[in-house]
Amino acid sequence: MKIWQRNAVVAVVVLFVAISVYLSWSYNQELDINADVPVHAPLGGDESTPAGIGETLSTERQAYFAEARLTRQRARDSALAMLNEVNATPASTQEVRDKASEDIRVIAEYAMLEATIEGLIRAQGFADSVAYISESRLTIVVAAPEGGLTAVDVARIKNIALNETSYTIEQISIMEA
């Protein structure tokens, strides 16, 4: 791969990560502004509506989700910084640079998938969630309603994960917070 192509790929990946960081920051700012606004049911609210619709998250639970996103982003930023350093090191072989560029692309893809999954879960009426994607697992932590997640709630969340990713049911974990 020519140097300008590699640099273009790195620039696009960095752009995706920057957009992901901005969206995460923007969402966290929105949480601060709308802290007392209840979550509304999805359109058509029938008996299949998730439990706990209309509940607001406590300050502690809001802080948990904000901190989880921040920690995830810091870890991702640290990895990206190391990968970019490898790309910028003249002593690195082309093979090493190509691997670093591929790793950067994967990190950006994971960030976009996590944001998509979290948004779709909120669209289903859950107050908040955070997704963690790795090479072999997808873990989703959901703000559980007062009565806890029902089997229908878990099935909805897993359906979102299955539709958005290539993970199998065995590779997907749902946790309550």
Rounded alpha-carbon distances, angstroms, from residue 11 to 14, 52, 108, 109, 177: 5, 42, 11, 14, 36
pLDDT on residue 58: 83
4/58: higher pLDDT: 58
pLDDT on residue 177: 85
Instruction: Look at the pTM and tell me if it is higher than 0.75.
Output: no
Burial class (CB in 10 A: 0-12, 13-18, 19+), 21: middle
85-142, pLDDT tens digit by residue?
Answer: 988 888 889 999 899 999 999 999 999 999 999 999 999 999 999 999 999 999 999 9
Q: How many CB atoms lie within 10 A of CB 70?
A: 13
User: What DSSP letter does each residue of 55-92 carry, written as one string?
Assistant: ----HHHHHHHHHHHHHHHHHHHHHHHHHHHHHH-TTS
pLDDT on residue 90: 87
Over residues 4-17, mean pLDDT: 65
Domain 3-176 has CATH 3.30.70.1520: no
Cross-strand pairs, 53: none
- Listed residue (64, 76, 82) closest to 21, CA to CA: 76
Q: Where in the chain are the domains?
A: 3-176
- Listed residue (141, 120, 115) closest to 57, CA to CA: 141
